[in-house]
Amino acid sequence: MISEKMMKLVGANSAIRVMFEEGRRLAAIHGSENVYDFSLGNPNFPAPPEVNAAIMDIITNEESTLVHGYMSNAGYEDVREAVARSLNSRYGTDFGHGNIIMTVGAAGGMNIILKTLLNPGDEVIVIAPYFVDYGNYVDNYNGKLVVVKADPHTFQPDTDAIEKAVTRRTKAIIINSPNNPTGVIYSEGTIRSLAAVLEAKQKEYGNSIYIISDEPYRELAFDGAEVPWLTKFYKNTIVCYSWSKSLSLPGERIGYLVIPSELDDYETVFAAAVIANRVLGFINAPSLIQRAVARCLDAQVNVAAYDANRQLLFNGLTDAGFECVYPSGGFYIWLKSPVADEKEFVADAKNFNILLVPGSSFAWPGYVRLAYCVSPDMIIRSLPAFKKLAGTYRL
């Protein structure tokens, strides 16, 4: 018999599978061109050509035992050095390879750092609405998830509410900006205020409270919006980065952790995180793609194409009468359900072959999420269906 924890996850997973099956069922009946699936955060845009060129060059010209072999559990030193240099040039920091651990995507990085930091019962604050797997990651190490609601108007973290939620057992707070699911970028003002709250609480309790900044969408920021670099504002910050979205490489499973030298207990945290990478069974981030991304640090997925999708869908939805948060980053639109029970709205949308994710999946009922990392054609084809759906609510 499987464990009780996994039993719960198997139950929860069936909801995602049902949505997937529903997409296939609708496509079989109506044709896939008449089904508008906004449910999945799987990038539709290809990786920039530099990535494949780098892979080809590496397998042709680099030593096979180096390219495919084991290396330090932290990753190739030259790759980590290249990542550190790239960050330094962009953010004016002073990182070296000793601050970087290559990881199996952001998910791998989050698990490494939570394994490194948490004792059973340690509390980890997350800001609702939040990426649902944070709960699972914290639970992996028997931590306690503490959910604090974002400001319901701006969807910025509510730092007064965070201040009230911090206790002696608070070990970390996970933040995610640009945010999945809201598309909001946390402002410098918010970050400064969060840092001030945490500094004061660290002093009060004599503990270290870490910010874990989950940043797979950092590069997807629009209209010249700045995504604040957190280690400049709060020294106990660990950054968890991924190329899944910025280079459209989610299946390659590649990212990194930044553990700054100024962090409390930096040396033991870094050493423990390297060991966590090993004992969690990752051993090291995949070798070939490590070497490839190191050559593509200035490459980017087509951000302008995401921006065009963003405008197309946001304008289409608001023209139809829906109320949405204007997204400044990431590739999601957060739409207010026209009825209180957003699951009912999701079911109604399905009648028009539109697939959406209910806000309850992000601990925020009353809203739904649309992922616009899809083909622009699908967005254009979907807009009449959204108009009809809006009509049923007389919007």
Q: Name the percent of the chain in helix, strand, coil, to the closest 5.
A: 45, 15, 35
Measured from the CB atom, the residue of 143 and 216 that comes closer to ligand PLP is 216
Measured from the CB atom, the residue of 198 and 285 that comes closer to ligand PLP is 285
The contacts found for 75-79 with CB under 8 angstroms, 24 or more apart, are 75/100, 75/101, 75/102, 75/256, 75/284, 75/285, 75/290, 76/102, 76/287, 76/290, 76/291, 76/294, 78/294, 79/290, 79/291, 79/293, 79/294
Measured from the CB atom, the residue of 197 and 240 that comes closer to ligand PLP is 240
Among 177, 244, 248, 309, binds ligand PLP (CB under 6 A): 244
Q: Which of residues 146-205 bind ligand PLP (CB under 6 A)?
A: 176, 180
Among 242, 284, 360, 382, binds ligand PLP (CB under 6 A): 242
Binding pattern for the stretch 312-351 against ligand PLP, x by CB under 6 A and - elsewhere: ----------------------------------------
277 binds ligand PLP (CB under 6 A): no
Residues in contact with ligand PLP, counted by CB under 6 A, come to a total of: 13
Measured from the CB atom, the residue of 352 and 362 that comes closer to ligand PLP is 362
Q: Which of residues 125-144 bind ligand PLP (CB under 6 A)?
A: 131
Q: 358: exposed, middle or buried (C-beta count within 10 Å: 0-12, 13-18, 19+)?
A: buried
Q: 136: exposed, middle or buried (C-beta count within 10 Å: 0-12, 13-18, 19+)?
A: middle
Measured from the CB atom, the residue of 75 and 105 that comes closer to ligand PLP is 105
- Decide: 142 and 120 in contact? Cβ < 8 Å: yes
Binding pattern for the stretch 43-82 against ligand PLP, x by CB under 6 A and - elsewhere: ----------------------------------------
Measured from the CB atom, the residue of 244 and 353 that comes closer to ligand PLP is 244
Measured from the CB atom, the residue of 97 and 369 that comes closer to ligand PLP is 369
Measured from the CB atom, the residue of 118 and 389 that comes closer to ligand PLP is 118
Among 23, 143, 157, 250, binds ligand PLP (CB under 6 A): 250
- Secondary structure (3-state) at 117: helix
In the complex, the smallest distance separating the C-beta of residue 36 from ligand PLP, rounded to whole angstroms, is: 20
In the complex, the smallest distance separating the C-beta of residue 41 from ligand PLP, rounded to whole angstroms, is: 5
Tokens of 116: 């490194």
Sheet holding 210-214, edge to edge: 100-103, 255-258, 237-242, 210-214, 170-176, 123-128, 144-149
**HSE value, Cβ hemisphere, 13 Å, CA-based, for 375:** 7
What is the rounded CA–CA span in Å between residue 25 and residue 349? 15
Report the 10 Å Cβ neighbour count for 121. Answer: 10
In the complex, the smallest distance separating the C-beta of residue 52 from ligand PLP, rounded to whole angstroms, is: 19
In the complex, the smallest distance separating the C-beta of residue 13 from ligand PLP, rounded to whole angstroms, is: 16
In the complex, the smallest distance separating the C-beta of residue 9 from ligand PLP, rounded to whole angstroms, is: 16
In the complex, the smallest distance separating the C-beta of residue 57 from ligand PLP, rounded to whole angstroms, is: 24
Tokens of 344: 């009912």
Q: Which of residues 92-131 bind ligand PLP (CB under 6 A)?
A: 105-107, 131
On the question of a cis peptide bond just before residue 338, with omega within 30 degrees of 0, the verdict is no
Distances (CA, A) of 78 to 69, 148, 270, 294, 387: 15, 40, 18, 8, 53
41 binds ligand PLP (CB under 6 A): yes
Contacts to ligand PLP by CB under 6 A: 41, 105-107, 131, 176, 180, 214, 216, 242, 244, 250, 255
